[in-house]
Amino acid sequence: MAQSSKRKPIGKMIITGIVSIALYAALLLNQDIINSYFGKGGAYAFLPIITAFIFSFFHGSFTSIFWTVLGVEAKKKKEVK
Amino acid sequence: MHDIVNAAANFINLDAINIVYLFLVGFVGGLVSGFIGSGGAFVLTPGMMSLGVPGLVAVASNMCHKFPKALVGAIKRAKYGQVDVKLGLIMGISAEAGVLYGAHIQENIKKAFGDAGSNLYVSAAFVVILAIVGGFVLRDALKTYRSGNTHEEEKVTKLARWVQSINIPRTMVYFKSLNARVSVLFTIPLGFATGMLAATIAVGGFIGVPSMIYVLGAPSLMASATELVIAFVMGLGGSFKYAMSGLVDIRLAMIILAGSLFGIQLGAIGTTYVKPYMIKLVMGLIMVIVLFSRALMVPVYMSQLGLMQPLAEETVKVLKSTSFAIMILALLIGAFIVLKAMWQGIRVERKMAKEVLKHSEV
């Protein structure tokens, strides 16, 4: 466990980072089409919800690994209560 | 990231500066949310409105960034063993009902008294609730700090002990955060109040977290982590409701999310380095500062309603911008304390690790 935490998951960070950037690029480059569908309401309400889940999955993993690679990690040993 | 920002600038009124602004506000808001379980939303909604986004779209888009953010934060903090999923879900569902009821009240007030009336109601709710709850939380945190017993385990309040001692058959549920069985007849009204507050001032956690700590008896760390589950349930339902009316601007929501996910990870990591009273300190401090920010706006709305003499346009402008500046200040102070505490914690840990290494070499 101690050894694996020493090795930084740079590969993983790059992959999730690329997916994240691609998602944001797709969103911002197609704003007009996206806004016209997402703003329709009714059953189209699923679109923003699903989008939020997809973004949070990839960008969430990326940001988590990002801080790990930078060396900002949770305290290893729990305080004795 | 820069290319995206530039490309976006060619397309719409969301220019590069706006994107960077939303990203940064999202980051700071996320940082605070990751730490105390909520917060940030009270700056994001007016923040978006200051860019020209209509009020309802700002509320809807804020909510649509909140639930994925809360989800990511909850998962992160669950890894540290801080989340009570059962308590979060039970309170979250009753909070959903509170949101619907709170929104209904808002609509009625708006119908009867117009925009200024509804604004006055929101500000009054802010001031009264933050004064009572925020003052109490801050006092408790300062008391712990002054007593020098910051290492001691948190004491369960008398009220919480009483709540835990009441046995109402068929309503008792075991909650791991409380290590006790509590009747859902207690958790439901607390969840409901959390939801009502969320519908009114956008931050339900200002009731949710203190109620879990002081009324139910949960440790601060678990209460603030469990609040993220409540925020997720509430935010998901709320976003869907707004999205049904086509009010969610997904671009705004996702740009804020981009920043806030960086923040929430950091805030969650921060909780593993601090003593429990720090959660109360940051939360109480933010609540009390925000209270002043909203109090400044009360005369503006009162004059609009004709309850007092009209204010000069210049005065209104000054009050509005001061109020917004104080809100941002509240968030920045919170973020600063979190970052500082984490930085110190990491330094101490690294120092200790080095010493251990030295000893083992010897």
Give tens-digit pLDDT for B22-60: 999 999 999 999 999 987 777 888 888 888 888 888 888
CA distance A30 to chain B (A): 9
Does residue B302 belong to any structural domain of this protein?
no
A45-67 average pLDDT score: 97
Angle between helices B16-36 and B313-361 (to 10 degrees): 60
Lowest-confidence pick of A8-22, A52-66, B135-149, B348-362: B348-362
CB-based contact, B228 to chain A, within 8 Å:
no
pTM summary value = 0.91
Q: How far apart are CA B292 and CA B65, in angstroms?
A: 26
Q: Please say if the pLDDT value at position A5 is more than 60.
A: no
Contacts of A67 in chain B (CB under 8 A): 262, 265-266, 269
Mean pLDDT across the stretch B184-192? 97
What pLDDT score was predicted for residue A6? 63
| Buried-state track B114-132, b at ≥16 Cβ within 10 A, e below 16 | eebbbbbbbbbbbbebbee
The predicted pLDDT at position B358 comes to 87
Query: Where does the pLDDT of residue A76 fall: very low under 50, low under 70, confident under 90, or very high at 90 and above?
Result: confident
Q: Is A26 on the interface with B (CB under 8 A)?
A: no
Q: Report the length, in residues, of chain B.
A: 362
Nearest-angstrom CA–CA distance, B268 and B355: 27
pLDDT band at B10 (very low <50, low <70, confident <90, very high): very low
Residue B232 sits in which domain range? Answer: 2-296+314-361
* The 3-state secondary structure of chain B, one letter per residue: CHHHHHHHHHHCCCCHHHHHHHHHHHHHHHHHHHHHCCCCHHHHHHHHHCCCCCHHHHHHHHHHHHHHHHHHHHHHHHHCCCCCHHHHHHHHHHHHHHHHHHHHHHHHHHHHHHHHHHHHHHHHHHHHHHHHHHHHHHHHHHHHHHHCCCCCCCCCCHHHHHHHHCCCCCCEEEECCCCEEEEHHHHHHHHHHHHHHHHHHCCCHHHHHHHHHHHHCCCHHHHHHHHHHHHHHHHHHHHHHHHHCCCCCHHHHHHHHHHHHHHHHHHHHHHCCCCCHHHHHHHHHHHHHHHHHHHHHHHHHHHHCCCCCCCCHHHHHHHHHHHHHHHHHHHHHHHHHHHHHHHHHHHHHHHHHHHHHHHHHC
The residues in B 37-96 lying below 8 A from A, measured between CB atoms, are: 64-65, 67-69, 71-72, 75-76, 79-80
CB nearest to A63's CB, from B65, B250, B262: B262
Contact B197, B238 (CB under 8 A): no
Mean pLDDT computed over every residue of chain B: 90
Residues of B in contact with A45 (CB under 8 A): 240, 243-244, 246
Our count of domains for chain B comes to: 1
Residues B135-165 have pLDDT tens digits of 999 999 999 999 888 777 788 999 999 999 9
Q: State yes or no: pLDDT of B79 exceeds 80.
A: yes
**Interface mutation vs chain A, best among B265, B274, B357, most A CBs within 10 Å:** B265
Is the pLDDT score of B281 beyond 70?
Answer: yes
Touching B: A residues 36-55, CB under 8 Å: 38-42, 44-49, 51-53, 55
Q: What is the distance between the alpha carbons of residues B14 and B277, in angstroms, rounded to a whole number?
A: 41
Q: State yes or no: pLDDT of B192 exceeds 60.
A: yes
In this structure, what are the phi and psi dihedrals at residue B173, rounded to the nearest 5 degrees? -130, 140
Residues sharing a CB contact under 8 Å with residue B340, sequence separation 6 or more, in sequence order: none
Q: What's the full length of chain A, in residues?
A: 81
Write out the two tokens for A11.
Answer: 């590969």
CB–CB contact A75 B248 (8 Å): no
Please give the share of chain B, as a percent, with pLDDT higher than 70: 97
CA–CA min distance A10, chain B (Å): 17
Residue in the block written with tokens 């935490």:
A5
Nearest alpha carbon to residue B249 among B21, B84, B81, B22: B22
Which of B11, B12, B253 has its CB closest to that of A52? B253
